[in-house]
Each structure stands twice: as C-alpha cells, then as structure tokens.
C-alpha cells in the first residue's frame, strides 16, 4: 500500500496530482487547508492538502484492462465505471484487512494460552483487568518457580505478584534540618489536591512537621479556594503562583518550613503547554521529589496514555487514589510494570484530609487475589 500527500492551489489541482500519480482508483484519506510558513502566507489564499492511498497492484491500471469486445461508447463507459468501483471496493477491503491485521497482531498473542489446573489464577488476573501480556508473563514466571520445587503453586503465584509490585515502596521522607520540596502532578480529576491535603495533615498533625503549601492550579474554578480551606483548617501557610518563575518567591515565603507540598493543575494529557509549565516549575523550584497521581479506576489504555504523557518527568514515584471506588486492582500492576517506578501511597476518594497510607504491596496482593475469589 502506498500513502502520499499532495498539495495544490485548489482542490482540482491536488486531485489532478493524485490521479496522475496514483491513478483514478486512489482512495482519499484526508483533505485540509494549509498555509505556507511566514507572515506573508496570512495574506494569501490557503493551499489544499490531500492525503491519498492506493494499493501497489492497482497503480498502473489503464484502459487496456477493459474488455475491448464491448464496442459502444456508452457500454464501454458503464463497464469502465463499474470496473473502477469494483477495484476501489477491493482496495478498501484490502486496506481494512491490513489495518485489522496490524492492530490485532498484539492482541492475538497468547490469547489461546492455557495453564491447565492453574488456569483459575490466570483468570483472576484477567478479571482484575491486568493486561493480558503481563498476566501471561506472571503465570509463566510462577510456573517456572513452581516447577521442580516443593512449593504450592499459590505460593509461587503470590511471590511473583509481590516481585512485580516491588519492594521499593518510597514514601516522602523528611530529614531533620533539611527542607523537603515535593511536587504533585497528574491529569484532571485524579484527586491531587485532596491527596496533597491528606499528606499535609499527616505531616502536620501526626509528625509535628512545619508544612507549607503552594499551588499553581489557577485554571480550575475554586481550586485555590479548595486548598485554602484545607490550609486554614490545618493552620498551614499557603501561597499561590501564577507562572513557574513565581515559584522562587513562594519558596522564600516558606523558608522556615520542614516540607513544602506543591499542587499543580490537572490538564489534558494532550496539552503540550502543561508539559512546559511542569518542566519550568521543576527547574525553578529545585524540586526534590515528584509524585505522579493516578486514579486506581484508570483503564489499561488510560494508564498507558498518562504514563506516556508524563514520561518527560524522568524520575518520579506513583500514588494511587480512589482505591475505595474500584472492584478490580489490575491498574496498579499495569502502571507499575509500564512505568517501572516505585509505589508510594494509596488513598481513598473521600474528600477529607484522612485515609492515606504508605502503599502496602501485601495488601494490594491480597485485594487482587481476594477480589475474585482466590
């Protein structure tokens, strides 16, 4: 299959290029208006861009392929039109088959995998929405550990789950005499502000630390007020910044604090300006720790999209929220294996500054196995 882009002054011009290069059986995939680069382009008529595709076998078709036994002009034209239509249908069918083959290739891998008398363990992973490739990998490692050893398969399975969740739980640690600056990031609606408030309450009330709050979330309606209410209840000072460069001044206001927690706006994962803003906050703020907050009810594709969009962070740790709102726990394993980053905290979705705990991998393992009956 050949896919090409053509640019013309008019649609007729672009289509003529398509026909001359790919033939009249080419399939139009997309059309749009574009402008040349530079200021002058805004005072000129936009160009037309056409993206077209054709199968290699169709290119080069000519009238010689028509049945020349048909002698009348009208019947020849009808025959030719029918032939073109038939060819286009065949070409579209072929392209669809190729697309389905490509997208389905990964899904088909291991889809018929069975594990005999231990199939129930595999089914538990799948029913918990653990991605299939990870479920197969876990089962294969558990089977390998089980083979030739005097252990129950359940023990091997649990051990592999714990290994995959990782022992490298890394909560926020505050060293006496050293100020800790912590940044919280994540998409809209995952509960960053509430999680930050819960952590602030823990450090202030339970640990007796001097806590400072900073927010850059001036995009969401009432976001600043929400955090200010928490700060007033806890008796904690709070600062608002309107650009990343303001972070230096805000940090100076909290120079006597043991730990400073920085809230950021939840933005679309497709918002490139959000990435730039976060990078600048990290640069100007001399951030010590970064925590990516993810809702536990995220789908596998959702986890993948979030983690890919925050890949620019480099080193970070994971916090899972809304653990009380789910009945399947595969998203935690999925995110852990995709990101290869340590877990830190799990928290409920309750909108109060309580109910947050250091991630307990044994608890997550028990939830995973117990939620569906093992």
For the stretch 306-351, pLDDT in tens is 999 999 998 999 999 999 888 899 999 999 999 999 999 998 876 5
With bands split at pLDDT 50, 70 and 90, how would you rate the model's confidence at 232? very high
Q: With a cut of 80, say whether residue 285 has pLDDT above it.
A: yes
pLDDT band of residue 87 (cuts 50, 70, 90) is low
| pLDDT grade for 64, boundaries at 50, 70 and 90 | very low
Q: What percent of the chain has pLDDT over 90?
A: 45
Residue 97 in this model has a pLDDT that exceeds 80 = no
d(CA 241, CA 278): 13
pLDDT recorded at residue 23:
83
Question: From 3.40.50.300, 3.30.1240.10, 3.30.390.10, 3.40.50.620, which CATH number describes the 180-358 domain?
Answer: 3.40.50.300
Max Cα-Cα span within the chain: 98
Average pLDDT, the chain: 82
pLDDT band, very low/low/confident/very high, at 112 (cuts 50, 70, 90) = low
Q: What is the mean predicted confidence (pLDDT) over 229-252?
A: 93
- Tens digits of residue pLDDT in 13-36: 888 898 888 887 777 877 787 876
pLDDT of residue 215: 93
**With bands split at pLDDT 50, 70 and 90, how would you rate the model's confidence at 107?**
very low
Question: Are 11 and 31 contacting, i.e. CB atoms less than 8 angstroms apart?
Answer: yes
pLDDT-based confidence at residue 269 (cuts at 50, 70, 90): low
Per-residue pLDDT band for 91 (boundaries 50, 70, 90) equals low
> Is the predicted pLDDT of residue 134 greater than 50, yes or no?
yes
Q: What integer pLDDT is reported at residue 39 of this predicted model?
A: 52
Task: Give the least confident one: 64-73, 115-124, 169-178, 333-342.
Answer: 64-73
Q: pLDDT band at 70, cuts 50/70/90?
A: very low
The stretch 81-89 carries a mean pLDDT of: 58
More confident residue, 143 or 149: 143
The model's pTM: 0.68
Distance CA 114, CA 122 (A): 8
Average pLDDT over residues 151-159: 92
pLDDT at residue 374, as a whole number: 67
Q: How high is the pLDDT of residue 182? A: 96
């Amino acid at each position: 299959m050949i896919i090409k882009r053509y640019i013309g002054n008019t649609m007729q011009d672009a289509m003529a290029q398509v026909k001359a290069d790919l033939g009249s059986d080419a399939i139009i995939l997309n059309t749009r208006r574009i402008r040349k680069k530079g200021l002058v382009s805004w005072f000129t008529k936009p160009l037309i861009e056409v993206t077209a595709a054709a199968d290699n076998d169709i290119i080069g078709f000519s009238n010689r392929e028509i049945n020349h036994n048909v002698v009348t002009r009208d019947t020849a034209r009808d025959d030719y039109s029918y032939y073109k239509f038939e060819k286009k249908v065949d070409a579209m069918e072929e392209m669809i088959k190729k697309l389905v083959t490509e997208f389905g290739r990964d899904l088909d891998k291991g889809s018929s995998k069975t594990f005999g008398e231990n199939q129930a363990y595999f089914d538990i992973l799948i029913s918990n929405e653990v991605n299939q490739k990870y479920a197969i990998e876990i089962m294969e490692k558990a089977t390998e550990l089980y083979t030739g050893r005097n252990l129950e398969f359940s023990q091997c399975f649990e051990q592999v789950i714990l290994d995959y969740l990782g022992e490298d739980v890394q909560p926020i640690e505050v060293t006496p005499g050293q100020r800790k600056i912590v940044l919280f990031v994540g998409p809209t609606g995952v509960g960053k502000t509430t999680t930050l408030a819960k952590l602030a309450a823990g450090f202030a009330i339970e640990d007796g630390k001097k806590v400072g709050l900073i927010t850059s979330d001036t995009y969401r309606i009432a976001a600043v007020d929400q955090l200010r209410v928490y700060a007033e209840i806890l008796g904690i000072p709070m600062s608002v910044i309107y650009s990343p460069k303001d972070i230096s001044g805000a940090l100076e206001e909290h120079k006597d604090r043991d730990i400073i927690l920085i809230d950021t706006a939840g933005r679309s994962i497709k918002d490139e300006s959000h990435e730039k803003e976060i990078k600048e906050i990290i640069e100007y703020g001399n951030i010590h720790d970064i925590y990516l907050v993810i809702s536990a009810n995220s789908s596998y594709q959702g986890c993948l999209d979030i983690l890919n969009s925050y890949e620019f962070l480099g080193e970070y740790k994971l916090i899972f929220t809304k653990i009380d709102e789910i009945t399947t726990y595969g998203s935690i394993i999925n995110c852990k294996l995709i990101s290869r980053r340590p877990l830190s905290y799990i928290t409920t979705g309750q909108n109060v500054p309580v109910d947050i705990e250091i991630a307990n991998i044994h608890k997550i393992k028990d939830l995973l196995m117990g939620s569906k009956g093992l």
